[in-house]
Chain A
Amino acid sequence: MTDILNALVLFANFVFVPGLAYGAQLALGALGVTLIFGILRFSNFAHGDTMAFGTMVTILVTWWFQSMGISFGPLPTALLALPFGILATIGIVLIFDKSVYKFYRTQKSPPIIFVMASVGVMFVMNGIVRFIIGPDDQRFADGERFIIRARDFEDWTGLSEGLALRTSQGLTIVIAVIVVAALFWFLQKSRTGKAMRAYSDNEDLALLSGINPDRIVMVTWILAAALATIAGVLYGLDKSFKPFTYFQLLLPIFAAAIVGGIGNPVGAIAGGFVIAFSEVTITYAYKKFLTYLVPESWAPEGLVQLLSTDYKFAVSFVILVLVLLIRPTGIFRGKVI
């Protein structure tokens, strides 16, 4: 009995909790991609670098706060700096919309031209981020590191395995729930949110009923920028900040958005968790877990790891391909233009 409990705790500690946090971060990122896709109708390749930009500003403000001795008690100071990061990101994203995308919108260019323009924006943003903060790893988490320590958990339950919950993981989940709830309330109940959904469903009908497209586009960019910054800061707190990693996050984020059904916010969240849990469960080494569950003589010799952790991109990609082949609209019916 204790062995089964130990195995469950082990699984929760190394697979479930990290997967939950990572899934929430991917979901927030995928929500931004899916909103842009639903309203502006292109895949935004600059989204990863938008996340990096927002996180960078947040880190800089965090360092400034820390140098002035401002802190947020047990919580990371980065949370205080987050609003500044969001504001800066909204600013730069709106500048790019005015200077780059607006032209193609009035020209009614095909989506692929938008995608190319977003590649250009990606280069510029990537350059700005590397220019300001450099290409190296930055850690900026402070405050209390753990909500539950593995040692405390062991003492408390008497099990030999501990379950640790890091502050960054707890925060990620709580903030993701709040943000998603607020976003859905906005999309379902507010006038602008309803207008956005109408515009996404049928652009011409929405225009006929007097919806102002410029406003819709602006609100979409604001939401996407805020979501990207929050996702980026939470990811950075949980792991660490490195511009190149953020660029690479593009793949699981796209996978999450498409798997869930691109253009569909519920799908983006579901997709985020599907991708995150697949990555974590497939790359986890089950040796210790199985050792608890099976009789001693059966204990596995190898690591019992389905794929090495270096292949986690492959996991999200394979799922993406499977979904595209079996159900191209995604789990929740998204758009297929």
Chain B
Amino acid sequence: MMRNLALFGAMFAALALVGFTQSWSVSLAILNLCLISAIMALGVNIQWGYAGLFNVGIMGFTALGGLAAVLVSQPPVIEAWKAGGAGIGLSLLALLGTVAAAVFVRRRVAGRWRNLAVLLTVVVGYFLIRSVFDPATDVIEATDPAKSGYLGGMGLPIIFSWIVGGLFAGAAAWLIGKIALGLRADYLAIATLGISEIVIAIIKNEDWLARGVKNVSGLSRPVPLEINLQQSEWFLSLANTLGADPITFSSIYVRLSYALLFAVVLLAILWLSERALKSPWGRMMRAIRDNRDAAEAMGKDVTRRHLQVFVLGSAVVGIAGAMLTTLDGQFTPGTYNPLRYTFLIWVMVIVGGSGNNWGSVLGGFLIWFVWVEAEPAGRWLMETLSGGLSDGPLKAHLLDAGPHMRLVVMGLILLLVLRFSPRGLIPEKTGR
């Protein structure tokens, strides 16, 4: 216990050090992403630590959360709805109809014609959907393409998107889990990797949904804008009493508000996960993880439990994804990269200690901190190393390449922890 407190204490001391040496604004920015990373790591820990499911599609669930942020908070584009809303609705109906017809055919047709009949139904349905869908998306994308060109969202406060993001990710996870969970462990990994790439491809290319690579920026915020703060009476007097410069203080104030919101979500999820882990349900999950066959023989429905935990973990990641987009204030599908959004989260879980929620939180904080600080450190290292070199292409290249060192650092951290301390910084508690 003392050790864990010391570890968390050291983490906050490191953040404070950044505050003193660089600036408090930077330190709080890192803290905000640390909090979000911790939530993502918790989601992955629910899947890997509780149940031993290897999900490398985290990027996809994060992006679904981000999509939710756009669809919830942006105002609806009325002209686009008028022009193409009916078409989109109709193609959705056609999609449902096709799925229903395929299921019907699969149930009714027997023998060797079954697969062919299902395939035929799907192909006919596909062309039917495309015939309604293509014209509808064309008109939607043509309405004021420079500013909107998409259907817009629901115009609700963005904070609701955190719940919707969780729902989106959970629904997607249910679909994937239905298909892939019966399979071997590394097949699940490959399947989730594929799904996440497809989710990104869809978000990038379906401009009618969230403008694709044209990005949606200027999302509404759950906290006040800096510029409004600087003009409000109470804020200026508050800054005055604290003796702070209003402009720097406004940015610190905004980031602190975000940090508070995120911390509330993190603590809520952490509390729930801890409760779940200590409940009979948690013991059952660990029993399934440690000896699947024995748990099955005891009458536990392993596939269903796996599906359940897969959906829960993915939903947590989806919540974090929506929070991330909220913090950024924009949705940029082009920036989703599996190294940053999938594998980095895995490093957090492994380093923190798989199976232990506190470990995942610490891992999220620590690895995000290292990831951010490795960039200036890499540059500094390169500048020191190449200090003796004369100016030339080699020196320029080395200076350019410095930031890529952090990938090597992350890989080495993962390999070293896996090799020498596979239980992580805060190991799972076993036995009672």
**Residue A43, interface by CB 8 Å:** yes
Q: Are A123 and B414 in contact (CB under 8 A)?
A: yes
A313 to B201, CA, bound (A): 8
Chain B residues contacting A246 (CB-CB under 8 Å) are none
Closest B residue to A248 by beta carbon equals B197
Chain A residues contacting B56 (CB-CB under 8 Å) are 119
A316 to B190, CA, bound (A): 12
**Residue A135, interface by CB 8 Å:** yes
Q: Are A336 and B184 in contact (CB under 8 A)?
A: yes
Q: Are B201 and A311 in contact (CB under 8 A)?
A: yes
Q: Are B194 and A320 in contact (CB under 8 A)?
A: yes
Q: Are B339 and A132 in contact (CB under 8 A)?
A: no
Closest B residue to A306 by beta carbon equals B126
A104 to B383, CA, bound (A): 38
**Residue B296, interface by CB 8 Å:** no
Q: Are A42 and B404 in contact (CB under 8 A)?
A: no
A280 to B28, CA, bound (A): 48
Chain B residues contacting A248 (CB-CB under 8 Å) are 197
Chain B positions 347-366 with a Cβ under 8 Å from a chain A Cβ: 347, 350
A324 to B186, CA, bound (A): 13
Chain B residues contacting A116 (CB-CB under 8 Å) are 54, 346, 350, 414, 418
Q: Which of A45, A135, A321 contacts B404 (CB 8 A)?
A: A135
A313 to B190, CA, bound (A): 12
Q: Are A123 and B407 in contact (CB under 8 A)?
A: yes
Q: Are B407 and A130 in contact (CB under 8 A)?
A: yes
Stretch at the interface among A164-172, A201-209, A250-258: A250-258
Q: Are B401 and A123 in contact (CB under 8 A)?
A: no
Contact with A along B385-416 (1 / 0, CB 8 A): 00000000000010011001111111110110
**Residue B26, interface by CB 8 Å:** no
Q: Which of A43, A132, A324 contacts B180 (CB 8 A)?
A: A324
Query: Beyond A131-B408, A134-B400, A310-B201, is A120–B414 a contact (Cβ under 8 Å)?
Result: yes
Q: Are A337 and B184 in contact (CB under 8 A)?
A: yes
Q: Are A124 and B404 in contact (CB under 8 A)?
A: no
Query: Beyond A130-B401, A250-B193, A311-B201, is A124–B412 a contact (Cβ under 8 Å)?
Result: yes
**Residue B187, interface by CB 8 Å:** yes
Q: Which of B194, B400, B404, B405 contacts A317 (CB 8 A)?
A: B194
Q: Are A124 and B408 in contact (CB under 8 A)?
A: yes
Q: Are A115 and B189 in contact (CB under 8 A)?
A: yes
Closest A residue to B408 by beta carbon equals A127
A306 to B183, CA, bound (A): 29
A275 to B391, CA, bound (A): 48
**Residue B179, interface by CB 8 Å:** yes
Q: Are A112 and B186 in contact (CB under 8 A)?
A: yes
Chain B residues contacting A70 (CB-CB under 8 Å) are none
A76 to B347, CA, bound (A): 41
Query: Beyond A43-B190, A130-B401, A313-B194, is A120–B185 a contact (Cβ under 8 Å)?
Result: no
Q: Are A113 and B190 in contact (CB under 8 A)?
A: no
Q: Which of B54, B198, B409, B419 contacts A100 (CB 8 A)?
A: B419
Contact with A along B73-108 (1 / 0, CB 8 A): 000000000000000000000000000000000000
**Residue A223, interface by CB 8 Å:** no
Closest A residue to B400 by beta carbon equals A134
Q: Are A254 and B418 in contact (CB under 8 A)?
A: no
Q: Are B205 and A251 in contact (CB under 8 A)?
A: no
Chain A residues contacting B52 (CB-CB under 8 Å) are 112
Closest A residue to B378 by beta carbon equals A131
Contact with B along A111-155 (1 / 0, CB 8 A): 111011101111111111011101100000000000000000000
Query: Beyond A115-B186, A123-B407, A127-B411, is A302–B339 a contact (Cβ under 8 Å)?
Result: no
Closest A residue to B354 by beta carbon equals A116
Q: Are A43 and B343 in contact (CB under 8 A)?
A: no
**Residue B270, interface by CB 8 Å:** no
Closest B residue to A124 by beta carbon equals B411
**Residue B288, interface by CB 8 Å:** no
A254 to B186, CA, bound (A): 11
Q: Which of B346, B400, B404 contacts A119 (CB 8 A)?
A: B346
Chain B positions 161-197 with a Cβ under 8 Å from a chain A Cβ: 179-180, 183-187, 189-191, 193-195, 197
Query: Beyond A120-B414, A310-B204, A311-B201, is A128–B190 a contact (Cβ under 8 Å)?
Result: no
Minimum CB–CB distance for B216 against chain A, Å: 19
Chain B residues contacting A250 (CB-CB under 8 Å) are 193
**Residue A5, interface by CB 8 Å:** no
**Residue A308, interface by CB 8 Å:** yes
**Residue A159, interface by CB 8 Å:** no
Chain B residues contacting A134 (CB-CB under 8 Å) are 397, 400-401
A45 to B115, CA, bound (A): 33
A310 to B407, CA, bound (A): 27
Chain B residues contacting A127 (CB-CB under 8 Å) are 404-411
Q: Which of A115, A255, A326 has the most CB of B within 10 A?
A: A115
A316 to B197, CA, bound (A): 11
**Residue A18, interface by CB 8 Å:** no
Query: Beyond A119-B346, A258-B187, A328-B183, is A126–B407 a contact (Cβ under 8 Å)?
Result: yes
A321 to B190, CA, bound (A): 10
A336 to B184, CA, bound (A): 8
**Residue A95, interface by CB 8 Å:** no
Chain B residues contacting A131 (CB-CB under 8 Å) are 401, 404-405, 408
Closest A residue to B195 by beta carbon equals A317
Q: List 5 A-B pairs, Cβ < 8 Å.
A: A42-B186, A110-B185, A119-B346, A123-B410, A127-B409
**Chain A positions near chain B (C-beta within 8 angstroms):** 42-43, 45, 100, 103, 110-113, 115-117, 119-128, 130-132, 134-135, 244, 247-248, 250-251, 254-255, 258, 302, 308, 310-311, 313-314, 316-317, 320-321, 324-326, 328, 336-337
Given contact pairs A119-B414, A131-B405, a sample of 16 additional A-B residue pairs in the complex whose CB atoms are under 8 Å apart = A110-B185, A111-B185, A115-B186, A115-B189, A119-B343, A120-B411, A121-B415, A123-B408, A251-B193, A302-B134, A311-B201, A313-B194, A313-B197, A317-B194, A326-B115, A336-B184
6 interchain residue pairs of minimum CB distance: A123-B411, A127-B407, A127-B408, A124-B411, A317-B194, A120-B414
**Chain B positions near chain A (C-beta within 8 angstroms):** 52, 54, 56, 115, 134, 179-180, 183-187, 189-191, 193-195, 197-198, 201-202, 204-205, 337-339, 343, 346-347, 350, 397, 400-401, 404-412, 414-415, 418-419, 422
